[in-house]
Amino acid sequence: MRTVILKRLLHLVPLLLGVSLLTFLVMHAAPGDYLDTMRADPAVSPEAIEAMRTRFGLDQPLPLQYLSYLKNVFLRLDFGYSFAYHRPVFEVLAQGLLNTFVLALAGSCVAWGLSIPLGILSAVRHNTWVDRACSFVAFVGLSVPEVFLALLLLLFAARTGWFPIGGMRSLDSDSLGWGRRALDLLHHLVLPALAVGLAPMASRMRQMRANLLDVLHAEYVTTARAKGLPESAVVLRHAVRNALNPLITLFGYSLGFLLTGSFLVEVVMGWPGLGRLTLTALLQRDLYVVMGSVLLTSGVLVLGNLAADLLLVLADPRIRAESA
């Protein structure tokens, strides 16, 4: 276990270096920068703009700018200063990252909370109307793009008035008690979580169904039935646990998918998360906010893959035996 963790953490360093370099080059490939937009403001003098350029190190050659940024990030955990928000980048990203995690977690609950029981039900009721209904749900979930699904959910909210449109809090949420604030947050979270979680739910449900169908024909399952165990015990205690192992390996990838889906849904549905913040920073050419967002997201994806490896070792005694 220590070796697996150490290898993953060592792989994190070159990955973040490559991601940061690519983001830095892409941002500088576009003409102009944030300070160019300030030149259109007659209230800002050219001397003030040049002073800001010197303060942020934008007057230095690009290699020196990049090396200075790396030194601040890896030695001081300083992600730079936001040109647009006039605050340290980490302070700008912290709230957006938390909101994105809330949405990704809710989407994960939708995806995994529905896919596992529906996949089990579909496999146990193989070739029945229940199986066909679950397959139809999976087909729809895989066919509809997340952006289009988010637009459909917004249309549903606008037509029915059952759910709020945009944001994550009501205007009067500060005057509510903590219990009602939590309910208000959940009310705003329902539609974005469905938009994020339904596509991975459909994919995981199909995988769970296929895995469980294979396991139900294994010899040890036949042996368990021959011992006279109830069918529910055979399925839940013996078959489902082994059918889940391939899905656990996909946990890290599903985390990346959920984060990517969250970014798109945030823009469409007005959720104040990291994706919406990053898009705004891109449009404003806020260099260090964009780089900080990409680095944080990349680190989260690597840690998600590490968590998937650890969960697989904990869930499968055969892997633990091989490691020992």
Question: Where in the sequence is the domain holding 228, given as residue range(s)?
Answer: 92-270+298-323
What pLDDT score was predicted for residue 135? 84
What pLDDT score was predicted for residue 273? 83
What pLDDT score was predicted for residue 312? 66
pTM for this prediction? 0.76
Measure Cα distances from 74 to 69, 80, 170, 197, 324 in Å.
Answer: 9, 12, 39, 34, 35
* pLDDT tens for each residue of 59-76: 788 888 888 888 888 788
**φ, ψ dihedrals at 88, nearest 5°:** -55, 145
Q: What CA–CA distance (Å, rounded) separates 18 from 62?
A: 16
What pLDDT score was predicted for residue 314? 67
What pLDDT score was predicted for residue 64? 86
Q: DSSP letters of 259-286? A: HHHHHHHHHHHT--SHHHHHHHHHHHT-
Instruction: Give the domain CATH number at 154.
Output: 1.10.3720.10
Q: Is residue 81 part of a domain?
A: no
Q: pLDDT tens per residue, the chain (324 residues)?
A: 666 667 767 777 788 888 888 888 887 777 767 777 777 677 777 777 788 778 777 778 888 888 888 888 878 888 888 888 888 888 888 878 888 888 888 888 888 888 888 888 888 888 888 888 888 888 888 788 778 888 888 888 888 888 888 777 777 766 777 777 788 888 888 888 888 888 888 888 888 888 888 887 777 777 777 777 777 777 777 777 777 777 776 666 666 667 767 777 888 888 888 888 888 888 888 888 888 888 888 877 777 777 766 766 666 666 555 555
Measure Cα distances from 169 to 127, 248, 253, 270 in Å.
Answer: 45, 33, 30, 11
Q: Is residue 148 part of a domain?
A: yes
Q: Is residue 58 part of a domain?
A: no
CB 297 within 8 Å of CB 291:
no
Long-range contacts of 52-61 (CB under 8 A, 24+ apart): 52/83, 56/81, 56/83, 58/33
Contacts of residue 272, defined as CB under 8 A and 6 or more positions apart, other chains included, come to 95, 96, 99, 167, 168, 266
Q: DSSP letters of 82-147? A: -TTT-SBHHHHHHHHHHHHHHHHHHHHHHHHHHHHHHHHHHHHTTTSHHHHHHHHHHHHHHHS-HH
Tokens coding 139: 């087909």
Q: What CA–CA distance (Å, rounded) separates 69 from 291?
A: 10
Number of domains in the chain: 1
The β-bridge partners of 88 are 81
Tokens coding 110: 């939708």
* pLDDT tens for each residue of 106-137: 888 888 888 888 888 888 888 888 888 888 88
Q: Is residue 188 part of a domain?
A: yes
What pLDDT score was predicted for residue 320? 56
Q: Is residue 29 part of a domain?
A: no
